[in-house]
Structure 1
C-alpha cells in the first residue's frame, strides 16, 4: 500500500471527536468517576458517538490487517500513557524557570521558509515490560532507578526511526535486495529530493517526511503509537505527556543527559 494511502487512513482518525460529559448531571459524572476508579480508565476512544464509533471500528480493523503485530501493542502503550513527546521551542520563544510544563503555542510561521517554520519534535516511549517491572516493585534502589533510562526508546517521525530492536529488524527486512544501476540510483535520489522539498511544509507523513521510500516501510509498536498520537490527538491526548524544551535540551535528552535518557 502506498504512503499517501496509509497517511490518509491514519488522518481519518483526526475527524473523530469524543463526546464531552454533560455538566448538568453531577450524579452521572460521579458514577462515571467511580466506575473509572474500580474498572480502570477508559479514554476518549471509548466515548464516541455511534457514528464515530462505527467509523473508528472500521479504520482500526483496517489497521489491524495492515499491522497485525504492532497495532494492539501500540494501543496498549497509549492506554498506559507510556509516551512522552518533546517539542523544541522556537528560538524566540521565552523560556520559563518554573518547574511546571509550559503550554505550547506556535505561530503559523508566516513569512518563513518551510524549514524555519518546522516544529522539531521527538517521542520517548517507555518499554511496556520495564513499566510492568517498575510497577511490581514498590521500592527501587538508586541503582535500579538510574538503570531505567535504557528502557526508553527514541522515536522520530520525520526521519522515521525508532531505537528499539524490533524496528531495526523490520528495517533490515524491508531492504531491497535487487541491485540497480548507477543511473537508476541517481534518478531515484533526485526524485526523492524533489519529494522531500515538496513535503517540507507538511507536519508528518507515514514513512517520514525526510526519508526516501524505495519499498515497504519498516514499523514497530513504538513508532505506530507515535503515529496514532500525532494523527489523532483528540483520541489519544491522555496517553501522551507533552513537554516544551529548548533545542539544547533536546540534544541533551538524545545524548542520554535528559530525564528519560536516549
Structure 2
C-alpha cells in the first residue's frame, strides 16, 4: 500500500512561511533591531526567505530600515477611510481568509546612490499594489516578463485559492517579485515584526491622485 503525499505549491508554501512568523516582536524604535528578539524558529523562517529571494530579501529589509515605505490610506470627503474590500465581502459569502485592502496603496522610495556623489537620491518612488501584485519599478517588469517565458500551465485548485502570496496573479510557481513589493508584503503580512517600519499617511482622493502622478513627498 503506497501513500502519496502532495507537496504544497510554491505560492502556498511562501504564504504558510510568512503566516507562521511571530505576530509580535515588542517595540519598533529606531535603535532596536526587531529581529534580535525573535525566537530561533522565526530566524530560520527568515533565513528561508533569504534563500527563496536571494536578490530581494535583504534589499527589502534595507528599505524598511531606511523608512522608505509609505502606506497611503485613502479617505473620502467626510474623512471616512474607503474600504472597497468590505463591499466585496458583502457580495460574496466565501471571502478569502487572506485579503488585501484595496484602499491601501504603497509607495516606496528607491535609495540609489548618485553616480558622482556618496549621497542618496530618493526622489524616485514606485507604486506597489499587493492585491494586483504589481510594482511600477523596472525590476518588477523584467521579472514579470523575462526574455524566456514558458507557457503557463495554470489549473485552479484549493492549493492556490488560499495562497495570498502573489495576489490575483496566475500560476502556482513563485510569482515575480522585486525588493519594493517584498518590503510591502513584509509590512502588510508580518506586521508584528515589520509593521513599525512603515510611514502611515491618510490622504484624500485628490492627494492620492497627486501621489500617483509623482507629486508625493
Flag whether TM exceeds 0.5 (same fold).
yes
What are the equivalent positions in structure 2 for 1:18-29 lying under 5 Å apart? 18-19=25-26
Q: Which residue of 1 aligns with 2:35?
A: 45
1:109: Cα distance to partner?
4.3
Rate the CA distance shift 1:118–1:2 in 2: closer, same or farther, 3 A: same
Q: Report which of the two has the higher share of helix.
A: 1
Q: Which residue of 2 aligns with 1:172?
A: 145
**TM-score, structure 2 as length reference:** 0.73
Rate the CA distance shift 1:179–1:7 in 2: closer, same or farther, 3 A: closer
Distance of 2:134 and 2:190 partners within structure 1: 20
Q: Which residue of 2 aligns with 1:140?
A: none
**Counterpart among 2, 17, 26 of residue 9 in structure 1:** 17
Where 2:50 maps in the other structure, the secondary structure is helix
Q: Which residue of 2 aligns with 1:242?
A: 200
Contact residue 74 and residue 225 of structure 1 kept, 8 A: yes
1:235: Cα distance to partner?
1.4
Distance of 2:204 and 2:126 partners within structure 1: 20
Aligned pair 1:57/2:43, yes or no? Answer: yes
Q: What per-residue deviation string (whole Å, max 9, x for no partner) do you get for residues 51-88 of structure 1?
A: x4212211111111101111111111111111001122
1:148: Cα distance to partner?
5.5
Q: Which residue of 2 aligns with 1:228?
A: 186
Contact residue 109 and residue 122 of structure 2 kept, 8 A: no
Max radius of gyration: which structure?
1
Q: Which residue of 2 aligns with 1:113?
A: 91
RMSD: 4.0
Contact residue 122 and residue 155 of structure 1 kept, 8 A: yes
Q: Which residue of 2 aligns with 1:126?
A: 109
Rate the CA distance shift 1:155–1:20 in 2: closer, same or farther, 3 A: closer
Rate the CA distance shift 1:20–1:222 in 2: closer, same or farther, 3 A: closer
Unpaired segments ≥5 residues, structure 1 = 22-35, 97-103, 138-146, 181-187
Q: What per-residue deviation string (whole Å, max 9, x for no partner) do you get for residues 175-206 of structure 1?
A: 743388xxxxxxx69x59x999x77xxxx921
Where 2:207 maps in the other structure, the secondary structure is helix
1:20: Cα distance to partner?
5.7
Rate the CA distance shift 1:158–1:135 in 2: closer, same or farther, 3 A: farther
Where 1:81 maps in the other structure, the secondary structure is coil
Q: Which residue of 2 aligns with 1:68?
A: 54
Aligned pair 1:259/2:210, yes or no? Answer: no
**TM-score, structure 1 as length reference:** 0.62
Distance of 2:58 and 2:19 partners within structure 1: 18
